[in-house]
């Protein structure tokens, strides 16, 4: 049996009573309301919830990209609220990978230059073996000299994923990493993310709307109105879809259609 103290020590990321309020006066919005959540080392968690439930705000606060209004975020045992902006930047460079929904690739840099940019920023010598492995696993070996504008959306997303993995970050945060991908590419990307957890013991936290994508995770955490709204362990796509329906979490008709199709689990 683990005691709660043991579990706490093995947590890669911990949020304690995190609130985030945007705006002032009448236009105040409470995006997160006292959220407490832990993410164990070497686990893959999917985060789901209705539009506006605070998923992106949660991810930004957990990754040190935004500061909570109150409460505490602890990454790798370090309380982020005790760090100044430079220290926070260093911690992000050394421990955290972030896969943005909009890819955020630099248009003037080649695929290879985009992928190795975080290493350059961190002043690290590139580990050529690791880069070769990541590039092959995301299927970009033939595209290293191309510019992002010469790639499809799915290829750009895979560049963004490779870029997040080459520094071997302890924790990877991903905001809808398969949102722009066709189902075959999505399944390749999810397999790669799953492997990075199983083989490299990385901790992965992924926001998604897709029950099939969520079924690759060890755990699904549901948010509603900026607060914890339940979780599922060892999720199947069907169980996730059923929970989403109960939460009223479907954002548009596409997802109702996706639910109506027999899914049978993974892609």
Interacting residue ranges for Mg ion, rule: CB under 5 A: 55-56
Q: How many angstroms separate the CA atoms of 219 and 261, rounded? A: 23
Residues 56-75 that bind ligand ADP (CB under 6 A): 56-57
Site for ligand ADP in 191-230 (CB under 6 A): none
Residue 261 exposed, middle or buried by CB count within 10 Å (0-12, 13-18, 19+) = exposed
Residue from 51, 87, 136, 183 touching ligand ADP (CB under 6 A): that is 51
Q: Closest separation between CB of residue 52 and Mg ion, Å? A: 8
- Single out the residue of 145, 18, 2 nearest to residue 70, CA to CA: 18
CB closer to Mg ion, 55 vs 243? 55
Residue number, nearest CB to Mg ion: 56
Residue 23 sits in the site that holds ligand ADP (CB under 6 A): yes
Cα–Cα dist 203/198, whole Å: 9
Phi, psi of 97 (to 5 degrees): -115, 145
Q: Say how far apart CA 83 and CA 76 lie, in whole Å.
A: 13
Q: According to the binding rule CB under 6 A, does residue 177 interact with ligand ADP?
A: no
- Least CB distance from residue 58 to Mg ion, whole Å? 9
Q: What is the residue whose two structure tokens read 């009223």?
A: 248
Q: Should residue 53 be labelled a site residue for ligand ADP when binding is judged by CB under 6 A?
A: yes
The one segment of 49-57, 126-134, 160-168, 257-265 that binds ligand ADP by CB under 6 A: 49-57
- When asked if residue 49 is in the footprint of ligand ADP (CB under 6 A), the reply is yes
Residue of 123, 133, 63 lying closest to 97 (CA atoms):
63
Name the binder of 178 from Mg ion, ligand ADP, none, CB < 5-8 A by kind. Answer: none
Q: What gap in Å lies between CA 234 and CA 247, rounded to an integer?
A: 19
22 versus 265: smaller Cβ distance to ligand ADP: 22
Going from the C-alpha of 217 to that of each of 7, 44, 260, the distances in angstroms are: 19, 5, 22
Distance CA 52, CA 147 (A): 34
Least distance from ligand ADP to the Cβ atom of residue 66, Å: 9
Q: How far is the CB of 63 from ligand ADP (least distance, A)?
A: 13
* Token pair for 225: 């109105």
Q: Which does 153 bind (CB under 5 to 8 A by kind): ligand ADP, Mg ion, none?
A: none
Contact residues toward ligand ADP (CB under 6 A) are 22-23, 29, 31, 49, 51-57
């Amino acid at each position: 049996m683990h005691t709660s103290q043991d579990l706490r020590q093995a947590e890669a990321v911990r949020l304690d009573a995190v609130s985030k309020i945007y705006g002032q006066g009448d236009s105040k919005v409470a995006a997160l309301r006292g959220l407490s959540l832990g993410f164990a080392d070497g686990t893959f968690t999917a985060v789901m919830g209705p539009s506006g439930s605070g998923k992106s705000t949660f991810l930004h606060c957990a990754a040190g990209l935004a500061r909570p209004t109150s409460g505490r975020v602890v990454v790798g045992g370090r309380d982020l609220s005790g760090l100044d902006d430079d220290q926070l930047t260093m911690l992000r460079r050394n421990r955290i990978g972030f896969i943005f929904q909009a890819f955020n690739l630099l248009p003037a840099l080649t695929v290879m230059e985009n992928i190795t940019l975080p290493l350059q920023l961190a002043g690290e010598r590139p580990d050529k073996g690791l880069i070769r492995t990541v590039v092959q696993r995301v299927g970009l070996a033939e595209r290293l000299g191309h510019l992002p504008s010469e790639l499809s959306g799915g290829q750009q997303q895979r560049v963004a994923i490779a870029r997040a993995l080459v520094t071997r970050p302890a924790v990877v945060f991903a905001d809808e990493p398969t949102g722009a991908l066709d189902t075959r590419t999505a399944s390749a990307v999810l397999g790669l993310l799953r492997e990075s957890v199983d083989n490299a013991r990385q901790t992965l936290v992924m926001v998604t709307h897709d029950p099939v994508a969520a079924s690759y995770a060890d755990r699904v955490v549901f948010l509603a109105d900026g607060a914890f709204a339940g979780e599922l362990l060892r999720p199947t796509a069907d169980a996730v879809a059923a929970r989403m329906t109960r939460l009223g979490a479907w954002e548009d008709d596409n997802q109702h259609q996706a639910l109506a199709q027999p899914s049978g689990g993974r892609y």
